Chains A and B, each alone.
Chain A
Amino acid sequence: MILSILLFLILLLGTSIHSKFDFMNFAVNFAYSLFVSFLFFRSMKTKKISQCRSVLFILLSVFFILCFKIIFTSFFTPYCHIAMSSNLIRFIYNAFSDWKVQLGILWLIVTLGIGQAWCSWICFFGGIDEFFSKLLPRPILKVRRLPTFWANFSLGLLLFLFLVSFIDDKSTFCIWFCPLKMTTAFCDSTNMTARTIQIVLLFSLGTSLLVFLPLMTKKRTFCGVFCPFGAWQSLAGRISPFHVKIESQKCGKCDICMDICSLFAIGEKDNEYTILSNCTKCGMCIDQCPDNAITINHPKYFLFSCYLISGAMGASFIPKFIVNCIEKLFL
């Protein structure tokens, strides 16, 4: 309860400082902070992580798409974290301008705190993926494990993007692979052959990885198979103090965790189940395990950190977006 109140106060203070001091802004900030704190409180009370997380996660994505992709309010488009991982070299040798340094520091703080939980608590791509993976009650195509090639695809793509960043001063991921690029301007030349190939590639990646495959398999295929930032976080995120583990003495090998894990993050080694490095700490396996064999260390502080960071990210645009909508529609 105390942590919930603390979370509420921090979010309310943070949102109030960064918005106009009037009744409408205060009311929206209050409602938003209360909503996030309530989700945290409910998670703590029910001892279930994933359900409330899912609600916040998907809402973040929905609002992100409405805010920055559907032109309704004139917001600036934020710098995408996915481009950051593969352009590290450019960041270092020619991009030490203020805001990129701030972004790098922000990334470091979040990674030190919650590691790869970014992928299941904050990332808007992940929210889209998660939304479609939860639509159907049962998978049409059952996939429990990935073949070696696909299991290493995201890391392979990250390595490629890292190598090609030496020769291309633009973000190769954004120009050639990002599904959401369909809705924004292209930043490279107007070569029609290139543009045609880009549009075909972006459209097919977007529809298959973000919509159809999650719908059919109930797995987050963009995040689990493709995303280079996820691959980057699976390496960098090890510095986080929070880890999920399976207690082999309690584990009944019922395979429920393998079926439920949407990111193929549970593996088998020497006849024991293990949590792999690409685990995004979504909590689905923890909630579903009938033997209570899967746990996360310091769950209270983990949940508080996740709701705080996630809530703060949402607070940077959701209340402002809602206020703008109200003003445009009713005033």
Chain B
Amino acid sequence: MTEVIINGVMLGLSTGISCLGYCSPLFVPYLLSEKTEFKTNVLRVSEFLSGRLLAYILWGFMIGKFSDYIESDYMKKVSVYAILFSSILLITYGMMKNFPQLKFCQKLEHTKGIHRFPLLLGITVGLNICPPFVMGISYLLNVGKVRESMIFFIFFFLGTSVYMIPYIFLNLFSSIERIQYVARVTAIVSGVWFFIYAITLSGW
């Protein structure tokens, strides 16, 4: 068990910068697009990280339980759908912020759950398989136990989350109005690009 914990933390710490790279194009536009207080920003980042943690625990459970049956194609499909859903979330958010006068966007604003955006984004980003994740999965396929897999991913999450600390200070930049407008545009561009990226990965 100690070995699993240490491996999880060390993998997270050694590859976490890559996680920061993968999360940033999706999460940074959201953080910069509204003026918020430091406390609110911390809450938003915590919600995002909670989503990631949920996704990692789910992966841990699936790999531990079904390690004999999991194929790379299945994992790739989960990843593709996760990226697709993240991109749709981001495009929706970008549309709401850039075009609030549109009726469609006004309806979305009042949709239940839309304000849990960071949590939803965290879950979908967490379900996407990035290179550090692949290394973790390769290790766990040999372990093949549910409890160990879940614990591994919890500590992997903790290791990678160290690199997410800078996100909580982004409210310093989002207080500048111009940056808010720019980030709202970036949200749509980023969402569209990831949508296209997911389609190219799926081979449709």
Contact = CB atoms under 8 A, between A and B. Distances in A.
| Interface magnitude class on chain A | 10 to 19
A21 interface: no
Contacts of A164: 25, 190, 193
Given A152-B182, A156-B185, A191 B25 contact: no
B166 interface: no
A123 B52 CA distance: 44
A105 interface: no
Interface stretch (B65-73, B141-149, B195-203): B195-203
22 contacts: A149-B98, A149-B184, A152-B182, A153-B185, A156-B186, A157-B185, A157-B189, A159-B182, A160-B25, A160-B29, A163-B190, A164-B25, A166-B20, A166-B24, A176-B196, A191-B200, A193-B199, A193-B202, A193-B203, A194-B200, A197-B199, A197-B200
B181 interface: yes
A155 B185 contact: yes
Interface of B: 18, 20-22, 24-25, 28-29, 98-99, 130, 178, 181-186, 188-190, 193, 196, 199-200, 202-204
A163 B200 contact: no
A159 B26 CA distance: 12
B10 to A, nearest CB: 22
Interface string A155-172: 111011001101100001
Nearest to B32: A159
Contacts of A153: 185
A249 interface: no
A156 B21 contact: no
Contacts of B21: 166-167
Contact of B193 (A148, A160, A191, A193): A160
Contacts of B20: 166
Nearest to B24: A163
A179 B178 CA distance: 28
Q: Tell me the dominant secondary structure on chain A's binding face.
A: helix
A152 B204 contact: no
Contacts of A160: 25, 29, 186, 189-190, 193
A153 B199 CA distance: 24
Interface of A: 148-149, 152-153, 155-157, 159-160, 163-164, 166-167, 172, 176, 191, 193-194, 197
Nearest to A277: B178
B25 A197 contact: no
Nearest to B187: A156
Contacts of A176: 193, 196
A164 B90 CA distance: 15
A235 to B, nearest CB: 11
A235 B198 CA distance: 32
Given A164-B25, A166-B20, A193-B199, A156 B193 contact: no
A191 B204 CA distance: 11
Nearest to B21: A166
A156 B183 contact: yes
Contacts of A163: 24-25, 28-29, 186, 190
Nearest to B190: A160
Given A167-B25, A197-B196, A159 B186 contact: yes
A159 B173 CA distance: 13
Given A159-B186, A160-B189, A152 B203 contact: no
B181 A148 contact: yes
Contacts of A197: 196, 199-200
B182 A156 contact: yes
